[in-house]
Structure 1
Amino acid sequence: MSALLKNVTNCIWHAFDSLQNNQVVHKSKLKVLTANIGTLLDLYGVEKGLDHYRSSQELTFDEFRYYLQHEVFSSLPKTLNLPVAREYEKKISEVCWLVCRKSLLSRDKPIFSDDSVFKLFRIFCLLADLVQDADDTNHYVVVLQPSEAGLVAEQLVHCLGLRWDAADWEALGSSIGHFRWAAFLAVLEAKYCGDQQLHIEALMEAVDELYDVFIEDIIKKGYLFKRGYLLPTMREYWCVLQPCALTYYKSSSQKEQCGRIPIDEYCSVEAMPGDGKIQRFQVITPERTFEFGTQDHKSRLQWLSGLRQAAAVSGGAEGYQRRARAGRRGAGARREQEVRDARARLQLEVRARLAAEAQAQELAELAQQDNKKLEELKSAQTELERLLQEETQAKRDEEIVRALQARVLAEEWERREELERLQEEQNKMLEEERLKRKQFEMLQAEKESQFREAERRLRELEEEKQRLDAELRAAQEKISQTEHNAHALHVQLREMNPNLRNGERARRAISFVPTSKSSSDTLIDLRALRHLKTLDDEEKL
C-alpha cells in the first residue's frame, strides 16, 4: 500500500461508511468518489475500471481499497516530497468530507463552526486507527485511542487558556474506551467548549492552532526581524516554522510568501550579541547564513529552541506528527504488552490465590476437627510474627553489627592466642601432674609392698607370740609345780637338817624363784630350773 493511500485511508473510510448499505456500496456511487480522487491526482478515467472489477455490483471496503491501491495510487511515483504529499492529502480529505460531511456534522447542539469541524476531522483521521469491529470482524471502524484524544483535548484546553485536568480525562477515557468520531466531537464540544463565555472566534483560533500543530506540522509562528540580503536593514516578517522549512510572509494572513529557508540536519542555529533593541540569532545553512532578530530575549530563546527541534526532526518522508504518532504507537504497544504481561501475572496470582484459598479451606476444615492443632498453628503464627519482627529488627541492627564485627574479631583473635597460651601451660601442668602421679603410684606400690611385708611379719610375730605364750603357760605351770615342790622340799629340809647352811641354801633357792605370775622371759625360767636342779644335785651329794 502506498504511503499516500495509507495516510488518507481513514478519510476514505468515512466517505465509504456514509455511502454504504449493509457494509457494501454500489459501484455507481464509488465511481463518483473514485473519479474525484483521480482528478485530484491528475489521473482521468480511473473510475471506468470499476465496471470490470468484480462480478458483483457492490463492493466492500476491502475490495474498494484494493482497487484504489492497484488501479489509482499505483500510478503515482513511489516517493513524493512532503509538500506535494500534504497537498494531495488535503484535497482528498476535502473530497471525502464533501461526501460524508452531512452525517458527520449532525448533532443536537453544535458549537464549532463547519470549517472548525472539518479541521478537527482531519486531526481525528490523522491520529485514529482503522480497526476491525469487535462485534463484526468483516466491518471496519475508525477509532481514536484515549491517549491520542487526550493529547488533542489538552492542546485545545491550553489554547483556550483553561486549566487541564489529567485525572478527570483518565477517568473519562477509561469509561468511554476508544473514541469514535461522534464521541470525540461530542466530548470536545460538551465538556471543554460548552462554556457560554467562550466566543466563537476564540474557538476558531484554538482549532486553527490545533490544525497548524497536527496537520501543518507548524512548530512555531510569529513575527521576526530579518536582515536583507542586499540591504543591511532589519525588516519584520511573519514567519512559520515547520520541520522542513522556515517560511516568512509579509503578514499573518500568509497570502504573500516572501521566502522559504530549507531546514535539515545540516542546519545550525547560533545566538548573536544584541544591540539593546533587537535580540539577534543566525540560521546557518549549507548555502548561506540568515540573520534574524526578536524584540526580547525570551522570544529569541523560544525561536532558537524551535529551530533546533525542526532541524532534529527534519528527516523522513512523512510529517513530524505522523512520526511522533508512530513513536507513541510503539510506546503504547510496549505499554500494552507490559499491561498484558501484568494481566497474565495477575491471572497467575489469582489462580495461585484461589488455590491457596482452597488449601486454606481444607486447613480450616482440618482445624475445626482438631482445635488443639489450630491453637498450635495460632501460636506458631504468633511466634513467626515475633520472629519476623525480630528479623526486621535484626536487619536494622545489621549495619551496627557489621561495624562492631572488626573489633570483636580482633578481640576474638587475642582471646584465641591467650587460650592457646593457657592451653599450652595447662598441657605442661598436666604432663607434670602425670609424672607426679606416676611417681606417687610407684611410691604407693612400694608402700603397699612394705605394708604387705609388715603384715606378713606381724602375722609371724603373732604366731611366735602365741607359741611363746603357750610355752610361758607351760613354764608357769612347771614353776608353780616347782614352787610347790620347793616348798615341800624346804619343809622336808627343815625337818631333816635344820642347820644354817641348809637353811641358807634353801633361802637362796627360794629367793631365786620368781615371785611374779607375769609373762617373764622364757630364758630366766629356764635358768631357775637349772639352778634348782643344781641344788638338788648338791643335796644328793
Structure 2
Amino acid sequence: MSTLLKNVTNCIWHAFDSLQNNEVVHKSKLKVLTANIGTLLDLYGVEKGLDHFRSSQELTFDEFRYYLQHEVFSSLPKTVTLPVVREYEKKISEVCWFVCRKSLLGRDKPVFGDDSVFKLFRIFCLLADLVQDSEESSRYVVVLQPSEAGIVAEQLVLCLGLRWDAADWEALGSSIGHFKWAAFLAVLEAKYCCDHQLHAEALVEAVDEIYDVFIEDIIKKGYLYKWGYLLPTMREYWCVLQPCALTYYKSSAQREQCGRVAIDEYCSVEPAPSAGDGKLQRFQLVTPERTFEFATQDHKSRLQWVSALRQAAAVSGGAEGYQRRARAGRRGAGARREREARETRARLQNEVRARLAAEAQAQELAELSKKDNKKLEELKNAQAELERLLQEETQAKRDEEIVRALQARVLTEEWEKREELERLQEEQNRMLEEERLKRKQFEMLQAEKEAQFKEAERRLKELEEEKQRLDAELRAAQEKISQTEHNALALHVQLRDHPIFRNGERARRAISFVPTTKSSSDTLIDVKAIRHLKVLDDEDKL
C-alpha cells in the first residue's frame, strides 16, 4: 500500500526526527516504532527484520522508509477502501504523535489545547511536503507552502467569526517563506488566536471544524428531512456528507447514528415529485440498492445539498481522500503558474536584451552622425522632411479631433440605447414577475381542484361499496322469502294428504290453520300445525 505510506510519511518523519541524532536513529528505537505501526496494521513481528536490514546499527530516514515500504506496507492488500485507509492514517498518526508530541508541544504561551494541537498537526502533515533541507545534505524537513498555510489560517479565522486579510497574509508568507511546524503553530496562536475575548470552547470548535473539513473530508453537514422506509413520514436528521457516505444522526452532537447511505460514482441526484404541500423542497438520492428521498426547508439549501451530493459522488472512487486530491489539483495549478511565470520572465529578459541592443545601435548611429558634419545638405533635406511630417501630424491631430467628436456622439447614442434597453428589461422583468404570480395562482387552483376530485372519487367509491352491500342483503332476503314460500307449499300439500282430511270439518279446520305465506316466524307456525294435527288424531281415537 504505497498510497498509505505516502499519506503518513510526514507523520513518520516527525517521529523519526524526534528520535534521530545526527541524521540517523538507532535500530532499537526504530523497532518500537515499527512494532507499533505493524500492530495497528494487524502485522506482527515486522520489526524483527530490522536486525538483518543493513549492516549498521543506525538507519537514515531514507533507509527506514525503504524498509517500511518493502517489509511492512507491502503486506497490506493492494485495494483498500477509503474509510479503511482513513482509519489506518488516524491510528498511525496517533502513534507518531505519541513519540514526538513532547518536542512539538513545547512553546512559551500555549493557546490551543493538546487535542487541538494534535488535530492541527494532522492537518499540517496532510498539506505539507517532505523536502531535502539542502541539496548537499541528505537531511529532510517537512514544510508547508504559504498558499496551503493560508488556506488553513483563513478557514480558522472564518470559523472564529473574524475578518480575513488576504493582503496581510501574502506579506507574511513572502517574509517567512516555507512554514515549518513550529512557525505554523506560532503564527496561528500569536497572530490569529491571541485575542483575549476568544473563549477556549470557540477555539476548540473552530479547530474541530477545520479538522472535519481537511481530515475527515466532510463536504457538507446540516439538517435534512428524510422520508422513512418503515414509517412513511418526513423526519429531520443531522446529516454529515463525506465522499463515500452520507451519515445521519439524531442531533448535531453526532452521538446516536441513525443510518448511513453509501455513495459511489454510480449514485445520482434527481428532483423528487412534489407532494403538494409546498413547504419542503424535495430531492432524491438514487443508489444501486434503493432510492432515498430528502427535503430541505428552502430552495437555496436544496441546491447546496444537491451540488454537494453530486460532488461527493464524483470524488467517491479511489483510495485518495477529497482534500488530498484538491491539494494535488492546487499543486498542479501552482506548477502551471510557476511555469508561466518563468516563461514570462524569459520573454521579458529577451525583450530587455533586444532593447539594449537597439540602444547600442542607436548610440553608434548618433556617433556616426556627429562625425559626419559634411552631410549638411542631407540634414536640410531631413529638416524639410520633418516640417512636412509636422504638417501631416497637425492634420492628423485635426482628423483625430473630428474622430473623437464622432466617437462622443456614438457614445451618447449608445448610452441612450442602453437606457432604453434597461427600461425594456425592467418592463420584461415586471411582466415575468406577473406571469410567475399568475402561474403560482393557477398551480394553487389546480391543486385545490385535484384535492376535490380525489375527495369525489373517494365518496363515489364508498357509495359503490354501500350499493354492493345493499344488493347482497336484498338478494339474501329474496332467497329467504323464496325458501319460506316453498316450505309453506310443502306443508300445505302434506296437510291435504293427511288421513284427518277425510273428515270434512276437521280438514277445513286444519287447512284454515295453515298460513298461505310464511313470515319470519314460519318455523313456529309449522310446529303449531303439527301439534294441532296430533290433537285431531287423538279426538278420532276417542
Give the shorter-chain TM-score range. 0.5 to 0.7
Distance 1:24 1:384 in 2: 79
Query: Letter of the aligned partner of 1:302 in structure 2?
Result: Q
Distance 1:40 1:385 in 2: 87
User: Which of 315, 336, 339 is the equivalent residue of 1:337?
Assistant: 339
Q: What's 1:30 paired with? A: 30
Q: How does 1:9-88 map to 2 (within 5 A)?
A: 9-88=9-88
Any idea what SS the aligned residue of 1:226 has?
strand
Q: What's 2:282 paired with? A: 280
Q: What's 2:324 paired with? A: 322
Deviations 1:430-454 (A, max 9, x none): xxxxxxxxxxxxxxxxxxxxxxxxx
Query: Letter of the aligned partner of 1:281 in structure 2?
Result: F
Give the CA deviation at 1:56: 1.0
Q: What's 2:490 paired with? A: none
Any idea what SS the aligned residue of 1:73 has?
helix
Distance 1:206 1:249 in 2: 21
Change (3 A) 1:233 1:27: same
Contact 2:227 2:294 in 1 (8 A): yes
Distance 1:135 1:242 in 2: 40
Change (3 A) 1:352 1:286: same
Distance 2:174 2:375 in 1: 49
Q: What's 1:300 paired with? A: 302
Q: How does 1:211-290 map to 2 (within 5 A)?
A: 211-272=211-272, 273=274, 275-290=277-292
Q: What's 1:443 paired with? A: none
Distance 1:376 1:26 in 2: 87
In the alignment, structure 2 segments of 5+ residues that lack a partner are: 407-542
Distance 2:387 2:336 in 1: 44
Change (3 A) 1:387 1:234: same
Q: What's 1:200 paired with? A: 200
Distance 2:50 2:391 in 1: 82
Any idea what SS the aligned residue of 1:53 has?
coil
- Aligned pair count? 401
Q: What's 2:159 paired with? A: 159
Distance 1:373 1:144 in 2: 69
Change (3 A) 1:356 1:193: farther
Any idea what SS the aligned residue of 1:90 has?
helix
Distance 2:391 2:179 in 1: 54
Distance 1:266 1:397 in 2: 66
TM-score after normalising by structure 1: 0.67
TM-score after normalising by structure 2: 0.67
Contact 2:81 2:318 in 1 (8 A): no
Question: Structure 1 stretch 321-330 or stretch 231-240: which is displaced more?
Answer: 231-240
Give the CA deviation at 1:235: 2.4
Query: Letter of the aligned partner of 1:113 in structure 2?
Result: G
Distance 2:397 2:144 in 1: 50
Query: Letter of the aligned partner of 2:346 in structure 1?
Result: A
Distance 1:197 1:283 in 2: 43
Any idea what SS the aligned residue of 2:288 has?
coil
Give the CA deviation at 1:392: 9.4
Distance 1:221 1:210 in 2: 13
Give the CA deviation at 1:381: 10
Distance 2:180 2:391 in 1: 57
Query: Letter of the aligned partner of 2:244 in structure 1?
Result: C
Change (3 A) 1:382 1:163: farther
Any idea what SS the aligned residue of 2:90 has?
helix
Q: What's 2:424 paired with? A: none
Give the CA deviation at 1:266: 2.4
Contact 2:245 2:263 in 1 (8 A): yes
Give the CA deviation at 1:364: 6.7
Query: Letter of the aligned partner of 2:44 in structure 1?
Result: Y
Change (3 A) 1:390 1:216: farther
- Structure label with greater radius of gyration: 1
Question: Structure 1 stretch 129-138 or stretch 257-266: which is displaced more?
Answer: 129-138
Give the CA deviation at 1:97: 0.8
Change (3 A) 1:387 1:113: farther
Distance 1:300 1:243 in 2: 18
Any idea what SS the aligned residue of 2:289 has?
coil
User: Which of 342, 349, 359 is the equivalent residue of 2:351?
Assistant: 349
Q: How does 1:372-387 map to 2 (within 5 A)?
A: none
Contact 2:36 2:95 in 1 (8 A): yes
Distance 1:166 1:285 in 2: 41
Change (3 A) 1:296 1:109: same
Give the CA deviation at 1:369: 6.8
Distance 1:59 1:265 in 2: 44
Distance 2:170 2:117 in 1: 24
Contact 2:85 2:319 in 1 (8 A): no
Distance 1:298 1:248 in 2: 20
Question: Structure 1 stretch 79-88 or stretch 326-335: which is displaced more?
Answer: 326-335
Any idea what SS the aligned residue of 1:317 has?
coil
Any idea what SS the aligned residue of 2:238 has?
strand
Give the CA deviation at 1:276: 4.5
Q: What's 2:150 paired with? A: 150
Distance 2:369 2:195 in 1: 65
Change (3 A) 1:357 1:168: farther
Distance 2:201 2:362 in 1: 67
Deviations 1:489-525 (A, max 9, x none): xxxxxxxxxxxxxxxxxxxxxxxxxxxxxxxxxxxxx
Q: What's 1:413 paired with? A: none
In the alignment, structure 1 segments of 5+ residues that lack a partner are: 402-541
Deviations 1:152-177 (A, max 9, x none): 11211221122222222222222222
Q: How does 1:369-448 map to 2 (within 5 A)?
A: none
Distance 2:87 2:387 in 1: 76
Distance 1:396 1:266 in 2: 66
Q: What's 2:107 paired with? A: 107
Deviations 1:101-132 (A, max 9, x none): 11111122211111111111111111111111
Q: What's 1:457 paired with? A: none
Give the CA deviation at 1:294: 2.7
Question: Structure 1 stretch 261-270 or stretch 198-207: which is displaced more?
Answer: 261-270
Distance 1:389 1:242 in 2: 71
Deviations 1:274-305 (A, max 9, x none): 62444332212222111222333333332222
Change (3 A) 1:351 1:292: same
Change (3 A) 1:384 1:85: farther
Distance 2:394 2:192 in 1: 53
Give the CA deviation at 1:370: 7.7
Change (3 A) 1:141 1:368: farther
Q: What's 1:181 paired with? A: 181
Pairwise CA RMSD? 3.4
Query: Letter of the aligned partner of 1:341 in structure 2?
Result: E
Deviations 1:335-359 (A, max 9, x none): 1111121222233334444545555
